[in-house]
Structure 1
Amino acid sequence: MRCFAHCVDMGIRKKTASKNPPVLSHEFVIQNHADIVSCVAMVFLLGLMFEITSKFAVIFITVQYNVTISTNGSEETAVNHFHHGIKDLATIFFYMLVAIIMHAIIQEYVLDKLNRKKHFSKTKHSKFNESGQLSAFYLFSFCWGTSILLSENFLSNPVSLWEGYPHTLMPFQMKFYYICQLGYWLHALPELYFQKTKKEDIPRQLVYIFLYLVHIAGAYVLNLNRLGLVLLVLHYFVEFLFHVSRLVYFSNENRQMGFTVWAVLFVVGRLLTLSLSVLTVGFGLATSESQGFNWAAGNFNILFVRITVLAAICLTQAFMMWKFINFQLRRWREHSQAQTLKKKPVSTKSKSKKDKANGVNGVNSHGADSPKARKEKSS
């Protein structure tokens, strides 16, 4: 009895130990990372309440580099615009913490509940979580970016994408949009650890995180923020359709119409991206009056920079098309294999039916001749 009680006690201890891992262990940090990050973000918010720390906390929370421009009209009004600088790194860090918290909220209160209902396998579980998180982000970013494009009239006046370059001053919504975008894609790096991403999936995710950061930061620093905003909105819409189609496919594998719509829009999106990039960088900036390199003025309109920007965009689009073609070929192979597997059972069933019919006509179940066969023999 003592041995049995000792074994039960050891089992309970092991179970409680697994539920409550040691403080500051890897498992503890992963299970409680949202609470830890929330406490760090709360420190910056509490810093606003005290005069000594408010000047330091403001750098992290509010958008920096405000420039007030007065417009002359019937009534003189002041319009706030912003430019970029080194202090933006602190603001990006704070909103990276906010992105980690939002990621944990969506995961716990939406995706985990859906996973429990659907009972996905481990492979589908990780892909479902990835598509769920990205579809929410892409939808939010697409709607927000579209509202900025409409309010600034960039869609109705495409010439404004390169006219008046360098676009060093941005409205509040545009600068905040870029800061949130950089914060989100930076938060994806620690999430690889928090979500226990498989080693074989890490290189793939690192590649697209790196591509997002390079392109968004490049458009932000080189003052190509207008072109970058248009391309991001276009790209996010196409990616949103893909991840929504994948979520629908996981719920019902027969529903694959979304992938067909996405495939068409993906190719259209790549063509529009290349066309807008060549039109803005290759023709618009090349014929602009403000030629030359001036770091202080934010002017990077020289041949080397234009070629580098176009080369980066074209190589990225080519890489995406290559991945797209491989994805379509893989889907085609899987579909053909599924069709062959469906045909095999049908052929075996028809063969068994023929054998059974021959057995009834020739030999009965006891091994004797059938009445029809005996009649043929007697005749």
Structure 2
Amino acid sequence: MAVLRRRGRAHSVFSHEFVIHNRADIAAALVLIVLGGLMFEVTAKTSFMFISPQHNVTSTTPDGDVVYYVYGTSDCATISFYIFITIILHAVVQEYTLDKVNKRLHLSKVKHNKVNESGQLLLFHLGTSAWGIYLAVTEGYLSAPSSLWEDYPHTHLTFQMKFFYLCQLSYWLHMIPELYFQRVRKEEVPRQLLYIGLYLAHIAGAYLLNLTRAGLVMAVLQSVAELVFHMARLQYFTNSDRQAL
């Protein structure tokens, strides 16, 4: 079953147009193949490697055994799976929300692209801010700020912390093929690649250098700032009568 509604003439299977218009369905098919692998004993272990964070270690504490995670090569498989998930979500938000807003407002092509960009990033940074604040509270970083740097390196991660970083990496890596899917103008590509590269450097650097605690706080602060910026930007481009924000 198709993930998104399809309108307009059919395109050749091997054409660029076919890939662009059906990217969500292609990604959904790959996700279903991985999920279907869980049904069979022979492939279940491989499929589980794509779906759930790997490289877990058990640590013995006075309260019992606790499972933590470290980074490793199997993270590449997990990240690739969630890249496809993110492509699907990106396409759903685009078709069912942003395209309808653009159609209703009759925006110019430049404003259309800006609204698409800010709309996607607004939702992402909203989710990052909420999730990051929740982690900072539950992990005790706000009640004990010294834990951000004490006992470095912080090699062991909880499930939530590792999953947060894997999802962050998946999102920013998926933004690279989205430059092609969204038909971003050539003159805009360098700016977009720099933007994506800076985020990847921050997230991957914090993850690989065991600076995940400080990286989490920095990511939240940046996302809150970006959230306000993209809210103001959407207001500016979609409502010319009220541009005070």
For this structure pair, what is the TM-score category when the shorter chain's length is used for normalisation?
A: over 0.9
Residue matched to 1:31 = 21
Deviation at 1:34, TM superposition (A): 0.6
Partners in 2 of 1:250 and 1:22 — Cα distance? 36
SS in 2 for 1:181: helix
**Structure 2, unaligned stretches of length 5 or more?**
1-7
Give the CA deviation at 1:71: 2.8
Letter in 2 for 1:144: W
For the residues of structure 2 that align with 1:77 and 1:114, how far apart are their CA atoms?
A: 53
Residue 60 of structure 1 pairs with residue 50 of structure 2: yes
Cross-structure match for 2:118: 131
Q: Percent identity?
A: 54
- 1:120 alignment partner, one of 83, 91, 107: 107
* Matching residue of 2:237: 250
Partner residue, 1:209: 196
Q: Give how far 1:248 is off.
A: 1.0
Q: How does 1:247-286 map to 2 (within 5 A)?
A: 247-258=234-245
Partner of 2:80: 93
Residue aligning to 2:175 = 188
The match for 2:187 is 200
Deviations 1:33-84 (A, max 9, x none): 1101110111111111111111111111111011222332xxx433221111
Map 1:1-379 to 2 at 5 A. 19-72=9-62, 76-258=63-245
Q: TM-score, normalised by structure 1?
A: 0.61
Which secondary structure state, in structure 1, belongs to the residue aligned with residue 126 of structure 2? helix
Q: 1:215 Cα shift?
A: 1.2
Shift of 1:250: 1.7
Secondary structure of the residue aligned to 1:257 is coil
Question: What RMSD, in angstroms, separates the aligned Cα atoms of the two structures?
Answer: 1.1
* Counterpart Cα distance in 1 of 2:89 and 2:67: 29
SS at match of 2:152: coil
Q: Deviations over 1:2-55 (max 9, x none)?
A: xxxxxxxxxxxxxxxx71111120111111111011101111111111111111
Q: In structure 2, what is the Cα distance between the partners aligned to 1:112 and 1:199?
A: 22
* SS in structure 1 of the partner of residue 67 of structure 2: strand
- Larger Rg belongs to: 1
- Give the secondary-structure state (helix, strand or coil) at the position aligned to 1:70: strand
Q: Distance in 1 between matches of 2:82 and 2:11?
A: 29
Count of matched residue pairs:
238
State the distance in 2 between where 1:176 and 1:26 align: 33
Which residue identity does 1:177 align to in structure 2? F
Looking at structure 1, the residues matched to 227 and 64 of structure 2 have their Cα atoms a distance apart, in angstroms, of 39
Aligned-pair CA distance for 1:256: 3.1
Whichever residue aligns with residue 156 of structure 2, its letter is L
Letter in 2 for 1:134: L
The code of the aligned residue for 2:116 comes to N
- How far apart in 2 are the matches of 1:256 and 1:194? 30
1:151-191 superposed Cα distances (whole Å, 9 cap, x missing partner)? 01112212111100110001111100000000000000110
Q: CA deviation at 1:254?
A: 3.8
Aligned residue identity for 2:180: Y
| Greater alpha carbon shift after TM alignment, 174-183 vs 107-116 | 107-116
- Provide the rounded CA distance (Å) in 1 between the counterparts of 2:18 and 2:243: 40
Determine which structure has the larger helix proportion and give its number.
1
Distance 1:172 1:256 in 2: 42
